[in-house]
Amino acid sequence: MSAIRYLPLVVKYVLRYRGRSVLTIGGVATAMFLFYAVQAMHHGVQEATEATSKDTKLVVYRQDRYCPFSSNLPQDYEGRIASIGGVKSVLPIKIAVNNCRTGLDVVTFRGIPLGAVDNGALDHVRFAEGSIQNWKQRSDAALIGGRLAAKRGLKVGDRVDLGGITVYVAGIINSPEPQDQSVAYSHLDFTQRASGNKPGLVTQFNVAVDDPARMDYVAKAIDVEFRNAQEPTSTWSEKAFVARAAADIVEIVGFARWLGWGCVIGVFALVFNAIVLSVQDRIRDHAVMQTVGFPQRLVAELIIGESLILSLTGGLLGLAAALGLTLWGNLSLSVEGLSIHVQTDAASILVGLVLSVFTGVLAGLVPAWHASQREISACFRAV
Amino acid sequence: MAFIECRQLTRSYKKGNTPITPLEDLDLDIEEGTFTALMGPSGSGKTTLLNLIAGIDTPTSGSLMVAGIDLAKLSRSQLAHWRADTIGYIFQLYNLIPVLTAYENIELPLLLHSLSAKERYMKVAAALELVGLADRHDHFPNQLSGGQEQRVAIARAIVSDPKIIVADEPTGDLDRVAAAEILSLLRMINREVGRTLVMVTHDPKSTEYAQRTLHLDKGKLLEREPVADHPSALRS
């Protein structure tokens, strides 16, 4: 595109029509920020709920219960589950949350037995600070997920009240598991006491299966095992479990995606309007350019270039704002003790930038074509 | 062959449903290096003729040869390149681009040529010096007087060293003193730089600066005055 050689001229137009440019870029940035924010929520939901062929985790919950407050299973189910063929490991967990509703500031405690840690239940986590030894030494110790720690400004050695439970921060952990980012891992018996339950009751069992292909078989086998028990179970793959618990959020985020696409259309309309108005304002300028020898195509490229700069600058500012919010805000939506992390992923960034470029070029095309097709002498007669 | 040669030159267009013929069967020769004034009442076809010579309008019929090129045979794109190389245009209302400084306005035609930034700077500085505005290069049009704006427009017209400079009532929007300065400048460009100059004017006094005055009425040429017969030309 030969307009690159004339970029300084286009930049001067953008900078020196300051009011118009600031308003247009501001509008585009706001719309693209909303687009990225919606995409970030969608990505979080997708990551938390979309099943893959490599999934090996099952969640065993109390049948017909949908909240950690009401799902109570005897801890001694652990041995019976472990004896089912295809089960690799069983982890009894007591979930404690400060509320069961959906929110951005819900703290989830996962109480796990000391022995499970020795058996590798937390082998997948990496310690950013502290150590597993710190955690083992104190009954009120907790390992805090990286996002939760960043959000609350926590560090090892702090004593902190999280949702009514006071714990000692023994370590800050990072994990590839989405559900580990915003939780506090505490001792099972401590969590049982702190949440007002009797010892011996847990919220759920997390079951690792030795073969991803046997997930359904094992899930059915577990539910059959406890079909006639006083506390029957309902077993799901972990991602299906999250999808069920977060069904309302999934639906809302699905709807919000349409709003995101609406924002893109808004960007197009905004830039198109700004360029149409400025081209109408500059009929004489373009006629002067053509008089001194600028070919029609070059005039059109200058207009498209200006439209592209407005749209792309707005898109980049919107992206910066969205990245800032998701990176430093450490946002996560919690529902029924499960976390959905709001994070802008690389694919969304790429899609947003491509859309900014595309809408910028598209919005400039029609005004550019009109401006370049006008007869020069007619332009001077018109103004 | 004359430098500018019009034969049965006609330009017509429609305004709504009404056909308008501002120029009809015009025959005209203009020699290289001359300063020609075009006079006539409003609607006589002066500006239309100027626009045709400058290649920003195209004839409906007839032929127009400028510097050996038949303009009727050029495409819009070819005409644009031809204008960049051959024509410097001075407007009555200056038509400077408001968001560009005097320097940037003058530099505009040079962007079309393969020149380095330094070469462009040298040429713009020389043009500003020639029109006496070397100290106003960073002023925007709204920071200049009418006379200064027209000087910048003249600098823009001459900066790429075109063969022909056309001026459409260049003093029409100026007071008498500023008008005299602009006309003197144009005459100097014609005489010292040797450029062919064609100027449209309403003002009989302005014709005193030209070597030849042509009168147009209703799209036709009324009379010609040879250079030597023009008393004011001798006086100046």
Confidence band (pLDDT; 50, 70, 90) for B227? Answer: very low
The whole-angstrom distance between B192's CA and the closest CA on chain A is 23
Return the pLDDT at A101: 61
Whether B97 sits inside 8 A of A6 (CB atoms) is no
Rg of chain B taking only CA atoms, in angstroms: 17
pLDDT (average), residues A12-35: 94
| Domain parsing of chain B, residue ranges | 4-226
pLDDT in tens, B45-88: 999 999 999 999 999 999 999 988 999 889 999 999 999 999 99
Q: What is the DSSP string of A265-317?
A: HHHHHHHHHHHHHHHHHTHHHHHHHHHTT--HHHHHHHHHHHHHHHHHHHHHH
Q: Nearest to residue B227, comparing CAs of B34, B5, B3?
A: B34
With contact defined as beta carbons under 8 Å apart, do A187 and A134 qualify?
Answer: no
B183 band by pLDDT with thresholds 50, 70 and 90:
very high
How wide is the angle at C-alpha B71 spanned by C-alphas B68 and B47, nearest 5°?
A: 110
CA distance B37 to B215: 8
A47 DSSP assignment: H
- Residue B230 half-sphere exposure, CB side, CA atoms within 13 Å? 22
Provide residues of B within 8 Å CB-CB of chain A: 48, 51, 54, 56-57, 76-77, 80-81, 83-85, 87, 89, 91, 95, 97-100, 104, 108-109, 111-112, 156
State both tokens at A169.
């921060």
CB contact under 8 A, B99 and A17: yes
* Confidence (pLDDT) at A44: 84
Q: Which two tokens stand for residue B108?
A: 């505009």
Structure confidence at residue A327 (pLDDT): 80
Model pLDDT, residue A337: 66
Q: Pick the residue from chain A with its C-alpha nearest to B110.
A: A292
Q: How confident is the model at residue B233 (pLDDT cuts 50, 70, 90)?
A: very low
The C-alpha atoms of residue A239 and residue B166 are separated, in whole angstroms, by: 77
Q: Which residues of A touch B99 (CB under 8 A)?
A: 12-13, 16-17
**Between A107 and A75, whose confidence is greater?**
A75
B131 within 8 A of B155, measured Cβ to Cβ? yes
pLDDT recorded at residue A5: 73
More confident residue, A356 or A327: A356
- Rounded Cα gap, residues B69 and B73, in angstroms: 8
CB nearest to A377's CB, from B57, B97, B108: B57
The b/e string for B21-36 (b: 16+ C-beta within 10 A; e otherwise) is ebbbebebebeeebbb
Query: In 3D, which of B163, B169, B215 has the Cα closest to residue B189?
Result: B163
Query: Kind and range of the H or E element at A174?
Result: strand A165-174
**Mean pLDDT on A139-162:** 88
Whether B111 and A6 lie within 8 Å, measured CB to CB: yes
Q: Which of B83, B110, B143 to mutate to test the interface with A (most CBs of A within 10 A)?
A: B83
- pLDDT tens, residue by residue, A233-287: 999 988 888 888 777 778 888 888 899 999 999 999 999 999 999 999 999 999 9
- Nearest-CA residue of chain A relative to B87? A292
Instruction: Identify the bridge partners of residue A161 per DSSP, sorted by sequence position.
Output: A166
Q: Which of A221-235, A329-343, B207-221 has the lowest mean pLDDT?
A: A329-343
How far, in Å, CA of A188 to CA of A160, rounded?
18
Q: Which residues of A touch B87 (CB under 8 A)?
A: 291, 293
Mean pLDDT estimate for chain A: 87
Strand positions, DSSP E, chain B: 4-15, 18-30, 35-39, 61-66, 69-70, 87-90, 164-168, 196-200, 212-217, 220-224
pLDDT in the model for residue A100: 61
For residue B28, the SS3 value is strand
Sign, CA dihedral A220-A221-A225-A228, equals positive
Using the Cβ of A9 and the Cβ atoms of chain B, whether some distance falls under 8 Å is answered with yes
Q: Which carries the bigger pLDDT value, residue A55 or residue A229? A: A229
CB-neighbour burial class of residue A161 (10 A; exposed 0-12, middle 13-18, buried 19+) = exposed
**pLDDT of the residue at A380:** 79
Does 3.40.50.300 match the CATH number of domain B4-226? yes
Closest Cβ–Cβ partner in B57, B99, B112 for A293: B112
State the CB neighbour count (10 A cutoff) for residue B126.
13
What is the per-residue pLDDT across A354-364, written as a single tens digit (0 to 9) for each? Answer: 999 999 999 99
pLDDT at A176 over 90: no
A297 touches B at CB < 8 Å: yes
Whether B178 shows a pLDDT value over 70: the answer reads: yes
Mean pLDDT over the full length of chain B: 89
Per-residue pLDDT, A12:
95
For chain A, the domains span: 2-49+248-382, 64-231
Q: Which residues pair with B213 in a beta bridge?
A: B37
What is d(CA A84, CA A219) in angstroms, rounded to the nearest whole number? 10
- Give the pLDDT score at B231: 44
Q: Which residue has the higher pLDDT, A1 or A355?
A: A355
**Percentage of chain B exceeding pLDDT 70:** 94
pLDDT value of position B228: 43
pLDDT per residue as tens digits for the range A84-97: 999 998 989 888 87
Nearest CA in chain B to A291: B56
Question: Do A232 and A63 meet the contact criterion of CB atoms below 8 Å apart?
Answer: yes
Q: Do A294 and B112 touch (CB under 8 A)?
A: yes
pLDDT digits (tens, 9 = 90+) for A182-235: 788 999 888 888 877 677 889 999 899 998 889 999 999 999 999 999 899 999
| Cα–Cα distance for residue pair B221/A164, rounded to 1 Å | 99
For residue A234, give the 3-state DSSP assignment: strand
Q: Which residue has the tokens 């046997």?
A: A214
Q: Which of A291, A372, A376 to mutate to test the interface with B (most CBs of B within 10 A)?
A: A291
Q: Which residues pair with A186 in a beta bridge?
A: A111, A142
Q: How far is CA A249 from the centre of its chain?
A: 12
